[in-house]
Structure 1
Amino acid sequence: MYLRTFFDEQLAQYSYMIGCQRTGEAIIIDPARDITPYLETAKKEGFHLAAAAETHIHADFVSGARELAENHGAKLYLSDEGNADWKYQYVEGISHQGLKGGSSFSIGNVQFEVLHTPGHTPESISFLLTDKGGGSEVPMGIFTGDFVFVGDVGRPDLLEKAAGQQGSSEQGAKEMFESLKKFKELPDYVLVWPGHGAGSACGKSLGAVPQSSVGYEKKNNWALKIKDQEEFIEKLLSGQPEPPPYFAMMKKINKAGPDLLSQSKTPVITEKERMQQLLQNNHTTFIDARAAEEYANGHIKGFINLPYNKIFTNWAGWVLDYEKDLVVLTDQKSSVKHALQSIGFDRIAAFVEPDVISNGEDAPLEGYASIPAGELIEPAKNGEYFIIDVRNDQEWEDGHIPGAHHFPLGHLDEHLDEVPKDQKLLVHCQSGARSAIASGLLMANGFNNLINVKGGIAEWKEQNGPIQKG
Structure 2
Amino acid sequence: MFFQHIYDKSLAQASYLIGCQAKGEAIVIDAKRDIDTYLQIAQENNLTITHITETHIHADFLSGSRELAEVTGAKIYLSDEGGEDWQYQFPHIGLTNGNIIKVGNLTLKVIHTPGHTPESISFLLTDHPATDEPVMIFTGDFVFVGDIGRPDLLEKAAGITGTQEKGAKEMFHSVQDFSKLPEFIQVWPGHGAGSACGKALGAVPSSTVGYEKIRNWAFQHKDEDGFIEYLLEGQPEPPKYFAMMKKLNKVERPLLTEVPKHKKLSKGEFLKAYNNGVKIIDTRNKVDFTRGFISNSINIQGNNSFSTWMGWIVDYSEPFILVAQEEEMEDLTRKLMRIGMDQTMGYIDQVENLELDLQTADVIDIEEFKTYLNREDVQVVDVRNKTEYEAAHIENAENIFVGTLEDHLYKISRDKQVVIHCQSGDRAAIAYSLLRKRGFKNVKNYSGGMKEWLENNNTVIQ
TM-based fold match above 0.5:
yes
Structure 2 residue aligned with 1:101: 97
CA shift digits 1:204-260 (9 cap, x unpaired): 101011010011111111101211111111111111111111111100000014421
Residue 197 (str. 1) matches residue 214 (str. 2): no
Distance 1:168 1:433, change over 3 A: same
- Matches for 1:302-381 after TM superposition, within 5 Å: 302-331=296-325, 332-354=328-350, 357-359=351-353, 362-381=355-374
Question: Of the candidates 430, 447, 450, which is equivalent to residue 457 of structure 1?
Answer: 450
- Matches for 1:250-261 after TM superposition, within 5 Å: 250-261=245-256
* Secondary structure of 1:106 counterpart: strand
Question: Of the candidates 229, 253, 262, which is equivalent to residue 266 of structure 1?
Answer: 262
Partner Cα separation in structure 1 for residue 413 and residue 174 of structure 2: 51
Distance 1:151 1:468, change over 3 A: closer
1:84 Cα offset (Å): 1.7
1:313 Cα offset (Å): 1.5
1:405 Cα offset (Å): 2.8
- Matches for 1:293-304 after TM superposition, within 5 Å: 293-304=287-298
Distance 1:353 1:123, change over 3 A: same
- Matches for 1:282-293 after TM superposition, within 5 Å: 282=277, 284-293=278-287
Give the stretch that moved more between structures: 364-373 or 377-386. Answer: 377-386
1:463 Cα offset (Å): 4.4
CA shift digits 1:237-289 (9 cap, x unpaired): 11111111111110000001442116553221132x3222111223x321001
Structure 2 residue aligned with 1:426: 419
1:430 Cα offset (Å): 1.6
Q: Which amino acid aligns with 1:217?
A: E
Partner Cα separation in structure 1 for residue 139 and residue 329 of structure 2: 33
1:374 Cα offset (Å): 2.5
1:186 Cα offset (Å): 0.9
CA shift digits 1:113-146 (9 cap, x unpaired): 11000000000000000011x2311001100000
- Matches for 1:10-409 after TM superposition, within 5 Å: 10-91=10-91, 96-132=92-128, 134-261=129-256, 265-271=261-267, 273-282=268-277, 284-331=278-325, 332-354=328-350, 357-359=351-353, 362-383=355-376, 385-409=378-402
Give the stretch that moved more between structures: 452-461 or 54-63. Answer: 452-461
Partner Cα separation in structure 1 for residue 412 and residue 163 of structure 2: 36
* Kept after mapping to 2: 8 A contact 1:370/1:451: yes
Q: Which amino acid aligns with 1:123?
A: E
TM-score of the two chains, using structure 1 as the length reference: 0.94
1:383 Cα offset (Å): 4.5
Q: Which amino acid aligns with 1:336?
A: L
Give the stretch that moved more between structures: 219-228 or 187-196. Answer: 219-228
Give the stretch that moved more between structures: 52-61 or 259-268. Answer: 259-268
Partner Cα separation in structure 2 for residue 382 and residue 162 of structure 1: 37
TM-score of the two chains, using structure 2 as the length reference: 0.96
Partner Cα separation in structure 2 for residue 57 and residue 281 of structure 1: 37
Give the stretch that moved more between structures: 59-68 or 439-448. Answer: 439-448
Give the stretch that moved more between structures: 19-28 or 419-428. Answer: 419-428
Partner Cα separation in structure 1 for residue 205 and residue 404 of structure 2: 32
* Secondary structure of 1:149 counterpart: coil
1:89 Cα offset (Å): 1.0
Partner Cα separation in structure 2 for residue 400 and residue 181 of structure 1: 38
* Secondary structure of 1:241 counterpart: coil
Q: Which structure 2 segments of 5+ residues have no match? A: none
Partner Cα separation in structure 2 for residue 428 and residue 36 of structure 1: 40
The alignment-based identity, stated in percent, is 48
Q: Which amino acid aligns with 2:13?
A: Q
Q: Which structure 1 segments of 5+ residues have no match? A: none
Structure 1 residue aligned with 2:406: 413
* Secondary structure of 1:269 counterpart: coil
